[in-house]
Homo-oligomer: A and B are copies of this chain.
């Protein structure tokens, strides 16, 4: 059976990616990162989703002794993306985060002889993070081919980004079709008891559900309780 490592954050995109990789016949292994994120709550969501998908998972704890991001440093205020100029990379950008995640995924994939790594990066309805763009993944695939034993032996582990060119609405529709348990997913950067509805991640999620004409269970609950 083909084997794949899936990066799972517990949000809409990575959960849909996991279900998509499974639907393509991969024996999936999820990696979940506990990296000091403000919304550590997503780690619990990710575990629940992996269990729901019957996907074995590992939680990797990373202790970055530097910050440089409002997702890591509570002293930096979380701003809504819409309040920033459009061309600006938001303060929620975590330095080299996806590169760190991918490097662990590569190591894991080599150790368990997986052929693919799936990541739910998206460059359409996104925050402008450079490590979500297709040109980055193309370059990283070349680096990983040249810098790993698997690659040197002609069995390069390929990073797959199946959502990269989809709108958030398309992702919601795909997730619905695949049976992603939306009610378990967590997107809000604030990581409170309920989604804040204001941060860039909440806004992008809401836009996707609205445009897809699908109800978003957690947000609906939150709205009803207000």
Residues of A bordering B, CB below 8 Å: 58, 60-68, 89, 93-100, 102-104, 106-112, 130-131, 133, 135-136, 139-140, 142-149, 151-153
Contact = CB atoms under 8 A, between A and B. Distances in A.
B99 A103 contact: yes
B112 A106 contact: no
A149 B89 CA distance: 7
Given A103-B100, A107-B95, A110-B96, A152 B130 contact: yes
Contacts of A130: 146-149, 151-152
Given A63-B61, A139-B142, A152-B89, A131 B147 contact: yes
Given A68-B110, A131-B148, 5 more contacts: A89-B152, A100-B100, A136-B143, A139-B139, A140-B143
Nearest to A100: B103
Contacts of A68: 107, 110-112
